[in-house]
Amino acid sequence: MPKLAPDKIRNIAILGHSHEGKTTLAEALLHVGGSLPRLGSTDAGTSALDFEPEESRRKISIAAGAGHLEHDGHKVNLLDTPGFFDFAGQVVTALRAVEGALIVVSANSALAVGTEIAWEHCNRDSKPRLVVVNKMDKENADFFAVVSSLREALRPKPVPIQVPIGSEAGFNGVVDLLSMKAIVSGGDGKAQETDIPNDLKGRVEEYHAQLMEAAAEGDDELLEKYLDEGELSDAEIQKGLREGIVAGSVAPVVCCSATKLLGVRTLLNTVIELFPPPSVPADGPAKALVFNTTADPFVGRVSYFKVLAGCLRSDQPLRNVARNVDERVGSLFFPRGKEHINTPEVCAGDIGAVAKLQHTLTGDTVGDRAAAAEPEIELPHAVYTLAIFPKSRGDEDKIGTGLARLAEEDPTLHVDRNEETHQLLISGLGDVHLDVIIEKLKRKYGVEATTEPPKVAYRETVAGTAKAEGRHVKQSGGHGQYAVATIEISPAGRGEGFVWQDKIFGGAIPQNFRPSVEKGVRDAMDKGVVAGYPMVDVKVALLDGKYHTVDSSDMAFQLAGGVAMRRAALDASPVILEPIMDAEISVPDRFLGDIMSDLNGRRGKISGTEPGDGTTTVRAQVPESELAKFALDLRSMTQGRGTFVKRFSHREEMPQHLAKPLIETWQKEHASKE
């Protein structure tokens, strides 16, 4: 492939709801552009872009597939992103590498939440976009109904630049509203011009007027002319559209059938004509942004990057300016699904990949030492957590290594070890996300894993005062063990921790054994006295005791202190302190009542609401135990439109009717054997 200037490159992400035909459209474009010899099928598992076993089995995209094609002297790089919510991180990272997006919607379905989410992504970055109404050949295809629903729900309002000729089995071409010509496509993807059908002329005139108005709004001079004369030339319409698209204020709509290659070549022409090229310097020191990473047990880490200046060349020393470490670039290649097309260099504006960078991860900037690091990629927050452990003993190290590699590949996966509950935790964007991680762990790293809900890090304390005697007396011939300690426990202030008081007057317990009683009390508190959780915020006073001149020892008084602590705590109105989370939940206004009701049912305390543009953010404090599956429930309640984040706030007393079963269960399992 010849070296191309940035103005001859188009970088496009393909977005939309799951099962709307995104991957099929990407492969149709690659096929029409001559990059794929045949059109693969996601249903048949022959897709070039969805090649991972997890994708083939589930028939959904999990990672952003990359491909490229040449058309009319231009190179078009395509990033086919997942439509399923759990893999939204791939959408965010892909959008950082492109100048435009194709938002794919089905001609035979209602407005989907994935379309709305894709639209919000583009609005957030003022990203140029083009709506592709796909599946025009399918039963119940209705382009005009789809356009109407899009224009009603989305801002900026999408505006058609094409009108379909026929629908369902009769779909065989489009009317181009820019040139006002009909284009009929054959099954080979080639097109020929013809007259506009008579039955479409009224609709064509109506949409052409909409198009002219949208083009005028993209340019002040054109708007003035349009208001004065009521007309714009074809060149002026195209100029206004291009400027509006670049500004993110105009969203054209086209139509096609990817499976039958109808309208695909016309779409390719539209992408080149209307989407902007990369705005990057062709010369100067090399600089590139790594926007995606994959991990392979055999090939190693593969980094996908976009060149922001100059050229990256094979075997070139570079600096990871984000981490301040040196990297050496190995063999470069252009990705096309799992196919690697080797190249000596990747230049400004283009997208390429390289294997085995040692320190570089998604979001990092590599390049000349003087290069400035690019802003961080803001990824979706992990909202769903599971505890994970290997099925086979001895695989603890392997599971840790495998998860660490998978976290390098997927920055929305978080792996942590909770030292308090002694659990290894994985957190992600949903249950399907974590299911896929477990499948990859087995396939790539040979570790079968089991998951369970994570334990909640409760604390114990007491609400009352109680005295108790702890005895550790064993006389069985020879050197015995003798220690008796009497303590009194009472609540300390929240956050005070442990307060020790020595109130013995005289020599009931010698001075050298009293720290041993304290150590026994502390050990019991650390292990959990009434329910197996660390005890906090307690005052303990040593009141009395007995000792034996021969048989008493440090260990005997430690054990006596532990016994006294356990007995006293059960009589001092023990309570459980549960972690409370600050939660922020954003939902469309129509779901607000359902969410408020749900939070109340989770013992949440709502602290306020903040209205937005059609959405409301609810702030609440909710017990951590009640949020275990909230991410999944929120998705169900809001049809995938709700989002939330949480962070630890404080601990407070758990209601007695909930704490009592925890205490009773643990006491039965750990009955005292004194």
Q: Is the peptide bond before 156 cis (omega within 30 degrees of 0)?
A: yes
Predicted TM-score of the model (pTM) = 0.90
111 Cβ partners below 8 Å, 6+ apart?
A: 105, 146, 149, 150, 153
| Residue 575 confidence (pLDDT) | 95
Tell me, yes or no, whether 2 lies in a domain.
no
Least Cα distance to 22 among 61, 75, 68, 77 occurs for 61
CB 333 within 8 A of CB 440: no
Q: Does residue 316 sit in the same domain as residue 344?
A: yes
Q: Does residue 532 sit in the same domain as residue 588?
A: no
Query: Which helix (H) or strand (E) segment is 489 a member of?
Result: strand 481-491
Q: Does residue 360 sit in the same domain as residue 423?
A: no
The total number of structural domains that make up the chain: 5
Residue that finishes a domain, picked among 332, 367, 402: 367
| Residue 160 confidence (pLDDT) | 97
| Residue 295 confidence (pLDDT) | 81
Tell me, yes or no, whether 243 lies in a domain.
yes
CA dihedral sign of residues 268, 270, 271, 277: positive
Tell me, yes or no, whether 1 lies in a domain.
no
Residue that finishes a domain, picked among 422, 452, 482: 452
* Strands lying side by side in the sheet with 325-328: 325-328, 317-320, 365-367, 287-296, 300-309, 351-355, 332-336, 339-343
CB 428 within 8 A of CB 86: yes
CA dist 641 and 637 (Å) reads 9
| Residue 480 confidence (pLDDT) | 84
In this structure, what CATH number is given to the domain that contains residue 318?
Answer: 2.40.30.10
CB 430 within 8 A of CB 445: no
Tell me, yes or no, whether 634 lies in a domain.
yes
Going from the first residue of the chain to its last (674 residues), give the mean pLDDT of each consecutive group of 10, the final group possibly shorter.
89 96 96 92 84 89 96 97 95 97 95 93 94 96 96 94 94 92 71 88 93 89 90 91 92 95 92 96 94 83 96 93 92 93 96 95 93 93 96 92 94 94 96 97 95 96 97 80 96 94 92 96 95 96 94 95 96 96 96 97 97 94 96 94 94 95 88 55
Structure tokens at 274: 């209307």
Q: Does residue 108 sit in the same domain as residue 247?
A: yes
- The DSSP call for residue 535 is B
- Would you say how long the chain is, in residues? 674
The CA distances from residue 249 to 192, 498, 671, in Å, are 31, 61, 69
Q: Does residue 547 sit in the same domain as residue 610?
A: no
Q: Does residue 258 sit in the same domain as residue 294?
A: no
CA dist 612 and 614 (Å) reads 6
- Which amino acid, one-letter code, is at 152? E
> Each residue of 284-320: pLDDT tens digit?
899 999 999 998 767 789 999 999 999 999 989 999 9
Q: Does residue 567 sit in the same domain as residue 581?
A: no
Structure tokens at 42: 């996601």
| Residue 505 confidence (pLDDT) | 85
Tell me, yes or no, whether 373 lies in a domain.
no
Range of the domain at 32: 8-274
The CA distances from residue 46 to 77, 567, 673, in Å, are 21, 67, 64
Residue that finishes a domain, picked among 452, 469, 491: 452
In this structure, what CATH number is given to the domain that contains residue 446?
Answer: 3.30.70.870
| Residue 213 confidence (pLDDT) | 93
Structure tokens at 81: 């992103």
Q: Does residue 120 sit in the same domain as residue 236?
A: yes
CA dist 300 and 293 (Å) reads 10
